[in-house]
Homo-oligomer: A and B are copies of this chain.
Amino acid sequence: MSREAAAPAFVRAPVDRAAARRTDAEWLRRCWASGAVRLIGFDGEAALLTEADDTLALLPLTPAHDLPPDAVLLGEADGRAVFAADLAGAAPADALRRDLRSLAAEGRLAAADLGLLAAARSLLQWHARHRFCANCGSPSAAMDGGWRRVCPACSASHFPRTDAVAIVAVKHEGRLLLARQPHFPPGMYSALAGFIEPGETIEAAAEREIFEEAGVRLRNVRYRSSQPWPFPSSLMIGLIADAVDDALTVDRSELEDARWFTRDECAAMLAGVHPHGLKAPMPLAIANHLMRDALAEDD
């Protein structure tokens, strides 16, 4: 485990979120109209980028027309307000349209910009999928710099979602439990994960998920780190836990396979040199770091 992994993606967004500005509609309009803002453009789920030499960068966009109703104030950085908007048809024709997963995998975009894109993608996708009031069915309107939608008919307020996920590196006598979902790339195994449900603690959700999917009971569930995962708006809560025993009952409707991997196998998977081509998730994913952290506990 001596090789240092790159940091997980999306965890850095060095912007002052400026929550107090969000509710100041007049400030938002003036700020936008001044043109002295940084604008992050999307076309649906894709970020709009430009390429120069060997690096990628956010497009240097200038606000056009009025403040779009679903534009989001991400915050302030370097003395400028940072907005994000879905430009769709108004996107520059020469812009690259890029998916955030592949951007994170490539590592050609600054980590801070990747963090901004993550917040932007979650919020813009939330607006795209929440144009109507869930309480009464009327069209709702974005407010507060894109951090709230309000229904003019029933006055209900709706806020962006974050969906908390428990992801667990399960250990038993130095081995790690890893699993494959059917849609994973060939040979890739990862830590098990599932959404935390209403009425559950983080630890209870971890215990339920791992028992449902692998038939394994946990003890000593311990928090390690977290990561926003903007597909569309998960909050990955990274845990390490010990298995009570190593008997597996794999739920084949959820998992293609689940098994215990020795420390040496895990190290080979993380280093990309497993003799059978098995792979760990890339360092952009918290699962990669949880595997390293779980193994490092025994160093």
Contact = CB atoms under 8 A, between A and B. Distances in A.
Contact of A10 (B195, B199, B233): B199
Contact of A134 (B10, B11, B123, B133): B133
A198 B164 contact: no
A197 interface: yes
A228 B196 CA distance: 10
A156 B135 contact: no
Nearest to A125: B198
Interface stretch (A13-21, A26-34, A268-276): A13-21
Contacts of A156: 129
A190 interface: no
Contacts of A133: 132, 134, 137
Contact of A119 (B19, B119, B198, B237): B198
Stoichiometry, as copies per complex, reads 2
Q: Name which of A120, A156, A202, A203 has the most chain B CB atoms within 10 A of its CB.
A: A202
A288 interface: no
A158 B132 CA distance: 13
A74 to B, nearest CB: 8
Contacts of A158: 134
Nearest to A128: B135
A181 interface: no
A136 interface: yes
A200 interface: yes
9 contacts: A20-B253, A119-B197, A119-B199, A122-B198, A123-B199, A130-B135, A131-B137, A164-B164, A201-B235
